[in-house]
Chains A and B, each alone.
Chain A
Amino acid sequence: KAGVTQTPRYLIKTRGQQVTLSCSPISGHRSVSWYQQTPGQGLQFLFEYFSETQRNKGNFPGRFSGRQFSNSRSEMNVSTLELGDSALYLCASSLVAGGGEKLFFGSGTQLSVL
């Protein structure tokens, strides 16, 4: 059974640009959550999607957005990049919607903003 797949693995962008990250969940999982991981702030919840609908959202500015497709694949977009957006972005999928239960994480996309 394939795990959660995130692409690309690494990204380098400059301030002001935008970026789109992709996540393919485990087959059969309909819930996809996104997390930002930094050395200073740790793991922080961005948002969760289930059946193409955003179920929950963390405390991030509107520059961070996401969507989920009918095949449960999800994308996350960050517009007008800032230096502080440099982080590891993790996607997690689950059979269960809400509550962060039984999450399976991908290896993440390492984003560097110069």
Chain B
Amino acid sequence: GENVEQHPSTLSVQEGDSAVIKCTYSDSASNYFPWYKQELGKGPQLIIDIRSNVGEKKDQRIAVTLNKTAKHFSLHITETQPEDSAVYFCAASSYGKLTFGQGTILTVHP
């Protein structure tokens, strides 16, 4: 089955800095790659997603890049704000199943 590895497990940045989270996947059949943000006491919330036929997608301060050859994809957050502090999960969809990475705890210090 699919295996998704996510790094780093924790990330601490100063407000205004950029944050980058990286994921690798194992199944070349995976064709959909979402990113979720989970705040304390809440369920994950979809923040951006990308399909395998697209290399990059941007939504305001958030961008995702995908390298199908290397089987890795990354989340980029620019101009970080304290409210960006949360746990971020990457995921890959293969044969109708979504496999999540282990999560990254992002802390943005004011």
Contact = CB atoms under 8 A, between A and B. Distances in A.
A46 to B, nearest CB: 10
For A100, A103, A107, A108, the residue with the greatest tally of chain B CB atoms inside 10 Å of its CB is A100
B78 to A, nearest CB: 24
Contacts of A104: 46
B89 A43 contact: yes
Interface in B65-110: 89, 91, 93, 96-103
Contact of A99 (B43, B46, B93): B93
A75 interface: no
B102 A56 contact: no
Interface residues of B, number: 23
A105 interface: yes
A53 B9 CA distance: 37
Contacts of B16: none
Contacts, number: 58
A105 B89 CA distance: 13
Given A42-B101, A42-B103, A98 B43 contact: no
Contact of A105 (B32, B44, B93, B103): B44
22 contacts: A4-B43, A33-B98, A42-B89, A42-B100, A42-B101, A42-B102, A43-B44, A43-B89, A48-B96, A56-B96, A58-B97, A99-B31, A99-B93, A100-B32, A100-B93, A100-B97, A100-B98, A101-B49, A102-B46, A103-B44, A106-B43, A108-B43
Interface of B: 1, 31-32, 34, 36, 41-46, 49, 89, 91, 93, 96-103
